[in-house]
Structure 1
Amino acid sequence: MSTAIAVVSKLILSGLPIAQIVVGALYHNECPMQHFIPIYLEVMGAYGLLALALSFLPFVNDLTPYSIAFGSVNLLFFLCWFTTGNYWIYSIYEPNYNKTVSIDTYCDKTLYLFAFWTTNVTYVQLVLFVCCCCFCARHLPSVMTSPS
């Protein structure tokens, strides 16, 4: 039963990366003001799907030197790409959404706001993850050592 739950939850989690790929591809040339934003979305979406697919492999969950090195490289790539994408997105806040005013300083509203809000959602997820880790680190040892 737990395997089925893991598969279903990973399928649900794949929705955002798929949406990132689709939005990035549909609006690939629609942000001359910062033409890397659609590329950022496409790569983040592909990375998210790849990370979800790799999580099914048994070596990813083992604490071997190979899996630790793999996880470290994976995390390093994510942090570098996410930081770069933050710069591309937030450096042009808030862009001109009107294509008729100036084609060079234009960025499609759907593309930009999708990238902006998915980046913000990633920050919210990161904060929730850190809070959960802190809570578990503080309360889980006392639960595990208490007599039954």
Structure 2
Amino acid sequence: MAKDFTGSCLFNVLGAGFTILIIAAFPVTEITIGALYLHECPVAPAIPVCVMVWGILVLMVIGLLLLPKLCPGAPDNTTLALSIWSLFLLLVIAVLYGSYHIYAVYPPNYNKALTHTNGPNSSIPRVPAADKVLPTAQNENHTLPLLNHTWTMHKNHTLTDMIQKLVRSRSEGEHLNATAPYCNRTVYLFAFWTTTLAYVLTGLSLVILFFFYFCMKLLVSIVYH
């Protein structure tokens, strides 16, 4: 009996091979991209893993949905429905978890080479010390009292420190994204647009359902009155 069941399922799967390939193309692509770039997103290592999990779960849901049509001796409808809804719930959780990591780092640094620089302070221009900036002023003021001379040097040194801090903060702001851990462009954009498209399609589906529900209610109300 089990042999006949396996043979029947295998025959039906081979007969619908082209259709199955088309349906399974997208989840297989997700699994492939996630596996290829598994270690290529240090800024958010969970993104490639989530892409793989999405593909696996979608592939399992598709398989369970096609099981009754391809295998007549499949488990009863209650067990099958419970399995499908369980996988669908896991898929929703995985999408929400992946969305957090995807949108939290948007937009990431796509250039791997920039993560190995000496840091954001490597290109900061150094302001000369106070005793080298104004040598002429110091020579001209040699007749001033010692207290006034000390105060002038302290003021110039404080001004130099302020200028260096301003230049450093500006440079750090400009190079913040460039020196951040990178994420491969292919896996990130694939995950980003897949997630965004899923949310858009879900929203459109809900709008269409509510529209038809409202139209049916309105039609029933008109017919009743």
TM over 0.5, shorter chain? yes
The equivalent residue for 1:96 is: 109
Distance 2:94 2:113 in 1: 32
The equivalent residue for 2:202 is: 126
The equivalent residue for 2:124 is: none
- Is 1:80–2:93 an aligned residue pair? yes
Contact 1:29–1:35 (8 Å) recurs in 2:
yes
Change beyond 3 A, Cα 1:61–1:135:
farther
Change beyond 3 A, Cα 1:14–1:132:
farther
Distance 1:11 1:138 in 2: 38
The equivalent residue for 2:34 is: 24
Gaps of 5+ in 2: 1-14, 69-73, 117-179
Q: Which has the larger radius of gyration?
A: 2
Q: Helix, strand or coil: the match of 1:95?
A: coil
Contact 1:28–1:38 (8 Å) recurs in 2:
yes
Identity, % of aligned pairs?
Answer: 34
In structure 2, which of residues 58, 71, 86 is the aligned counterpart of residue 48 of structure 1?
58
RMSD: 3.0
Distance 2:75 2:62 in 1: 11
Distance 1:122 1:61 in 2: 30
Deviation at 1:130, TM superposition (A): 1.8
Change beyond 3 A, Cα 1:60–1:95:
farther
Deviation at 1:128, TM superposition (A): 2.9
Q: Helix, strand or coil: the match of 1:98?
A: coil
Contact 1:55–1:61 (8 Å) recurs in 2:
no
Corresponding residue pairs, total: 137
Which ranges of 4 or more aligned residues in structure 1 deviate by more than 4 Å?
59-62, 138-143
- Is 1:111–2:187 an aligned residue pair? yes
The equivalent residue for 1:39 is: 49
- Equivalent positions of 1:59-70 (< 5 A) are 62=77, 64=78, 66-70=79-83
The equivalent residue for 2:213 is: 137
Contact 2:61–2:88 (8 Å) recurs in 1:
no
Deviation at 1:67, TM superposition (A): 4.7
Contact 1:54–1:60 (8 Å) recurs in 2:
no
- Is 1:12–2:12 an aligned residue pair? no
Change beyond 3 A, Cα 1:135–1:117:
same
The TM-score normalised by the length of structure 2 is 0.52
Contact 1:33–1:105 (8 Å) recurs in 2:
yes
Deviation at 1:136, TM superposition (A): 4.1
Distance 1:134 1:100 in 2: 50
Distance 2:82 2:47 in 1: 29
Gaps of 5+ in 1: none
